[in-house]
A and B are shown apart, each in its own frame.
Chain A
Amino acid sequence: MTASPRSKLGASFIARVALMAALALIFSYVEAIIPYSPGVPGIKLGIANIVTVIALYKFGPKDAAAVSIIRIVIAGLLFNGLFGMLYSLAGAIVSLIGMILLKKTDLFSVVGVSMAAGVLHNLGQLLMASALIADLRIFFYFPVLLFSGIAAGIFVGIVSAYVLRVLH
């Protein structure tokens, strides 16, 4: 993604996405330095996804995808490590597709879409983990990750909904 004069990406898009990615990265950092351990790997509040949800509703799928992927790659290099990055990327891609589709149906509120995204994110991570470890027994974690995905998604959704209400 270069900012060459012939780039199809507009300057405002690049500036906007860079700003949101930076904000999301700070959320990732805050989450990485908070020392809390829920016992099971993969459970996270995912406050950085607030930015993704807001980007999706305020600016559209392209912005949301760009912010999410940029944030994960940089956070992976800085805090989470290669495996963390791979898990997050798988989760992000699955949840982005899910969010875009659910938003298109126009049946769900921000909270509902975010809740589904939380679950799909964990599902994507689990699929990536089972592919990497080549062992389906990892699906033992599925219920735990599903419930935590619901909780984290609802939290992210509520915060995003409040912010979006102010932005409108």
Chain B
Amino acid sequence: MKQFIRKADIILLIVLLALGLAATVVLARTGAGAPADDMVVIKSGGEIFGRYPLNEDVEIEVPAPSGGENAVTIKGGSVTVSSASCKNQVCVKHGSISKSGESIVCLPNRLIVTIEDKSGGEYDSITS
């Protein structure tokens, strides 16, 4: 019976470990493999008003086609409609959204705020 562990095994182990460490470092440096940031898509009157990265804090004033106005706030990875010119204030009371696929709607001002994947992939998810 051959030896249990041979010299070539150790060399192979070291090569594989080095490869793993190198891959970890490269991925951490470039962030190449990191999940993409989600984008906040704001639609007003049926047309896209703008796209904003979810991870950048910003406040956007969105004029409505009817003359009103909504303020959309992106802060700390979640989105809220912080103020609205409409009567019912449903969008403001909706609270915050943070996951892709979620949305806030303001019907009177025809505003839709949606979070979507940067990649805009055709699948929601794949399970095994």
Residues of chain A whose beta carbon lies under 8 Å from any beta carbon of chain B? 41, 80-81, 83-84, 87, 105, 107-112, 115-116, 119, 132-133, 135, 137-143, 146-147, 150, 161, 164-165, 168
CB of A132 within 8 A of CB of B126, answer: yes
Bound state CA distance, A135 and B17, in angstroms?
A: 25
Residue from B6, B27, B35, B121 within 8 A of A142 (CB atoms): B27
- Contact A81/B128 with A115-B13, A140-B35, A150-B17 known, Cβ cut-off 8 Å: yes
Give the nearest-CB partner of A132 in chain B. B126
In the complex, identify which listed stretch (B18-26, B47-55, B79-87) lies at the interface while the others stay far away.
B18-26
CB of A146 within 8 A of CB of B19, answer: yes
- Contact A115/B16 with A41-B128, A135-B119 known, Cβ cut-off 8 Å: yes
Does B127 touch A at the CB level, under 8 Å? yes
Bound state CA distance, A132 and B35, in angstroms?
A: 17
Does B29 touch A at the CB level, under 8 Å? no
A109 to chain B, nearest CB (A): 5
CB of B12 within 8 A of CB of A112, answer: yes
A-B contact pairs, 17 of them (CB 8 A): A108-B8, A108-B12, A109-B3, A111-B5, A112-B12, A137-B119, A139-B27, A139-B32, A140-B27, A140-B33, A142-B27, A143-B24, A146-B20, A147-B20, A150-B16, A150-B20, A164-B1
Residue from A132, A146, A168 within 8 A of B23 (CB atoms): A146
For B23, list chain A residues within 8 Å (CB).
Answer: 142-143, 146
Instruction: Please tell me the number of chain B residues within 8 Å of chain A, measured between CB atoms.
Output: 29
Bound state CA distance, A83 and B33, in angstroms?
A: 22
CB of A137 within 8 A of CB of B33, answer: yes
CB of B8 within 8 A of CB of A112, answer: yes
Residue from B9, B16, B19, B36 within 8 A of A109 (CB atoms): B9
- Contact A143/B4 with A133-B123, A135-B119 known, Cβ cut-off 8 Å: no
For B33, list chain A residues within 8 Å (CB).
Answer: 137-142
B43 to chain A, nearest CB (A): 26
For A81, list chain B residues within 8 Å (CB).
Answer: 128
CB of B123 within 8 A of CB of A107, answer: no
For A140, list chain B residues within 8 Å (CB).
Answer: 27, 32-35
A45 to chain B, nearest CB (A): 17
CB of B128 within 8 A of CB of A83, answer: yes
Instruction: Give the interface centre of B8, B9, B27, B126 by most chain A CB atoms within 10 Å.
Output: B9
